[in-house]
């Protein structure tokens, strides 16, 4: 019954409702031998004792008593950039050395308040000087920021990649792009559960889009169990982010007239063994995407609906709840639940699966999942930094460390 049981039994008690999946237990957190953490639901009151142990042991296990700090630059401090900055800043093995803005617009205030050194996206002296005129301290242009960084996380709006990549290569640092860029431009793509190992010590990578990340979180564990998987899915996509006033539709359902859409095949950039096609439609909502998925499992898969749910329950960054029992039957309630959890911006890094929307009939698995598009890729960026820097080879250890540090912010 997963979280639904805990949820319904504490209805009306807000403190107990604030439960979060912590990807490690207090006893077998992260050990030098890389023990795979167990996945349990903990009341928020248990977070702090667990987290302290994770940090202590991680430092001991991987840095021989010394915490090496990775210097991270964020190029493009918008929807994704500001979230990645916070997720990086709370890790004990990395720090934000600067974030860029193209001009002194409103996001600068947030960077200043958070204490992130502000840089200009460009090296042009006039553009840099514009920040001081607007009352912001600007520490220089992009080149100066890159010169001080070990790795840059590019969170520019997309399709700017090729131009920015040449700057990163000239600076001789590692680089991470987002899902708005094409795999062909980066040559590598990344999702924590799919291909952390392949990305170890790479020059750069691309954290796949929010939809592709969401598909990977539930399909990769299934593939790993079954050994083969064929998938058809439909992405029901939000029209725009909440802070976006330029996109639509506002009064239509808009099919993506490119078949298949890029989302499904993009999964194959991180897990080529999964056969997958997708269709996509945009709908007038701003808060989440929903995926409607039909997966064909191989003969002899040995799974039941219940064991598929157990498989996902044991997988990091997947939340399973029963819609009928909890009253969370639409994306509106999912997001309200996420806001109750108290993460900044009401983020939900986990993929949300409705327990009562999952059914396995013979070899055909049907399910729905919801994706908080602005935040599911955020912890992935932190893990991608560790992969490129070669500081953590076990994806599960990185995921546990990333998630514990983020959870500690909201104890």
| Nearest to ligand NAD of 81, 316 (CB atom) | 81
Which listed residue (4, 79, 322, 381) binds ligand NAD by CB under 6 A? Answer: 79
DSSP, collapsed to helix, strand or coil, labels residue 234 as strand
| Nearest to ligand NAD of 52, 180 (CB atom) | 180
DSSP H or E run through 35: none
> Closest residue (Cβ) to ligand NAD?
78
HSE-CB for 153 with a 13 A CA cutoff: 38
| Nearest to ligand NAD of 107, 316 (CB atom) | 107
| Nearest to ligand NAD of 157, 227 (CB atom) | 157
SS3 content of the chain, % helix, strand, coil (to 5): 40, 20, 40
Touching ligand NAD, residues 232-251 (CB under 6 A): 241
Report in angstroms how near the CB of residue 332 gets to ligand NAD at its nearest. 18
Task: Please list, in sequence order, all residues whose beta carbon lies within 8 angstroms of the beta carbon of residue 338, skipping any fewer than 6 positions away.
Answer: 346, 347, 348, 372
DSSP, collapsed to helix, strand or coil, labels residue 217 as helix
Tell me how far apart the alpha carbons of residues 256 and 235 are, in angstroms, rounded to a whole number.
10
Q: Based on C-alpha coordinates, what's the Rg of the chain?
A: 21
Tell me how far apart the alpha carbons of residues 193 and 217 are, in angstroms, rounded to a whole number.
7
Backbone angles phi, psi at 251, to 5 degrees: -145, 45
Within 12-128, strands assigned E span 19-22, 40-43, 70-75, 94-101, 118-120
DSSP 8-state secondary structure symbol assigned to residue 274: S
Report in angstroms how near the CB of residue 200 gets to ligand NAD at its nearest. 23
| Nearest to ligand NAD of 123, 336 (CB atom) | 123
Report in angstroms how near the CB of residue 98 gets to ligand NAD at its nearest. 12
Is 192 near ligand NAD (CB under 6 A)?
Answer: no
Which listed residue (10, 46, 160, 311) binds ligand NAD by CB under 6 A? Answer: 160
Q: Which residues of 184-195 are buried (b: 16+ CB within 10 A; e: fewer)?
A: eebebbbbbbbb
Report in angstroms how near the CB of residue 167 gets to ligand NAD at its nearest. 9
Which listed residue (50, 121, 205, 381) binds ligand NAD by CB under 6 A? Answer: 121
The alpha carbon of residue 254 and the mean position of all alpha carbons in its chain are separated, in whole angstroms, by 26
What is the per-residue DSSP string for 351-397? EEEEGGG-EEETTEEEEEEEE-TTTTTHHHHHHHHHHHHTS---HHH
What are the angstrom distances between the C-alpha of 144 and each of 23, 98, 112, 135?
Answer: 37, 10, 18, 20
| Nearest to ligand NAD of 58, 177 (CB atom) | 177
The alpha carbon of residue 210 and the mean position of all alpha carbons in its chain are separated, in whole angstroms, by 7
Active-site residue, selected from the candidate residues 108, 120, 155, 210: 210
Count of positions on this chain that bind ligand NAD (CB under 6 A) = 27
Q: Which stretch, 74-82, 184-192, 345-353, 355-363, contacts ligand NAD (CB under 6 A)? A: 74-82
Question: For residues 71 and 150, is the Cβ–Cβ distance under 8 A?
Answer: yes
Which listed residue (80, 128, 222, 360) binds ligand NAD by CB under 6 A? Answer: 80
Tell me how far apart the alpha carbons of residues 387 and 204 are, in angstroms, rounded to a whole number.
10
Which listed residue (4, 23, 44, 75) binds ligand NAD by CB under 6 A? Answer: 75
| Nearest to ligand NAD of 231, 287 (CB atom) | 287
Report in angstroms how near the CB of residue 276 gets to ligand NAD at its nearest. 19
Which listed residue (52, 180, 260, 327) binds ligand NAD by CB under 6 A? Answer: 180
Report in angstroms how near the CB of residue 155 gets to ligand NAD at its nearest. 5
161 closest CA partner among 186, 193, 194: 186
Report in angstroms how near the CB of residue 284 gets to ligand NAD at its nearest. 16
Touching ligand NAD, residues 127-156 (CB under 6 A): 155-156
Which listed residue (4, 24, 91, 164) binds ligand NAD by CB under 6 A? Answer: 164
Q: Which stretch, 11-19, 42-50, 306-314, 369-377, contacts ligand NAD (CB under 6 A)? A: 369-377
**Catalytic site includes residue 138:** no
Is 358 near ligand NAD (CB under 6 A)?
Answer: no
**Catalytic residue numbers?**
210
Task: Give residues in contact with ligand NAD (CB under 6 A).
Answer: 75-81, 100, 102, 107, 121, 155-158, 160, 164, 178-181, 209-210, 241, 373-374, 377
């Amino acid at each position: 019954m997963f979280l639904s049981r805990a949820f319904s039994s504490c209805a009306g008690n807000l403190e107990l409702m604030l439960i979060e999946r912590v990807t490690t237990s207090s006893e077998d957190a992260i050990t030098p031998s890389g023990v795979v953490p167990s996945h349990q639901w903990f009341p928020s009151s248990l977070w702090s004792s667990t987290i302290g142990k994770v940090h202590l042991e991680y430092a001991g296990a991987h840095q021989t008593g010394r915490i090496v700090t990775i210097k991270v630059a964020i190029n493009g401090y918008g929807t994704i950039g500001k979230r990645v900055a916070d997720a990086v800043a709370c890790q004990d093995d990395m720090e934000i050395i600067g974030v860029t803005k193209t001009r002194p617009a409103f996001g600068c205030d947030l960077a200043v308040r958070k204490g992130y050194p502000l840089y200009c996206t460009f090296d042009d002296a006039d553009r840099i000087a514009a920040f001081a005129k607007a009352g912001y301290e600007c520490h220089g242009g992009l080149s100066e920021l890159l010169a001080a960084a070990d790795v840059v996380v590019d969170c520019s709006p997309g399709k700017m990649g090729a131009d920015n990549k040449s700057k990163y290569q000239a600076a001789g640092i590692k680089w991470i792009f987002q899902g708005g860029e094409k795999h062909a431009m980066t040559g590598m793509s990344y999702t924590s559960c799919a291909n952390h190992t392949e990305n170890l010590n790479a020059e750069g990578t691309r954290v796949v889009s929010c939809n592709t990340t969401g598909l990977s979180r539930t399909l990769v564990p299934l593939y790993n169990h079954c050994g083969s998987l064929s998938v058809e899915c439909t992405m029901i996509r939000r029209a725009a982010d909440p802070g976006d006033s330029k996109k639509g539709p506002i009064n239509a359902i808009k099919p993506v007239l490119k078949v298949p859409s890029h989302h499904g095949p993009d999964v194959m950039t991180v897990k080529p063994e999964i056969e997958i096609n997708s269709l996509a439609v945009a709908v007038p909502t701003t808060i989440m995407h929903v995926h409607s998925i039909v997966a064909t499992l191989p003969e002899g898969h040995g799974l039941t609906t219940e064991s598929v749910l157990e498989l996902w329950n044991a997988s990091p960054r997947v939340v399973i709840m029963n819609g009928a029992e909890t009253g969370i039957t639409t994306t509106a309630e999912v997001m309200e639940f996420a806001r109750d959890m108290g993460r900044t911006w009401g983020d939900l890094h986990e993929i949300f699966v409705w327990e009562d929307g999952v059914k396995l009939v013979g070899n055909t698995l049907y399910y729905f999942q919801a994706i908080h598009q602005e935040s599911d890729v955020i912890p992935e960026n932190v893990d991608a930094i560790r992969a490129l820097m070669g500081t953590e080879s076990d994806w599960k250890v990185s995921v546990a460390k990333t998630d514990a540090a983020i959870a500690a912010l909201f104890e």
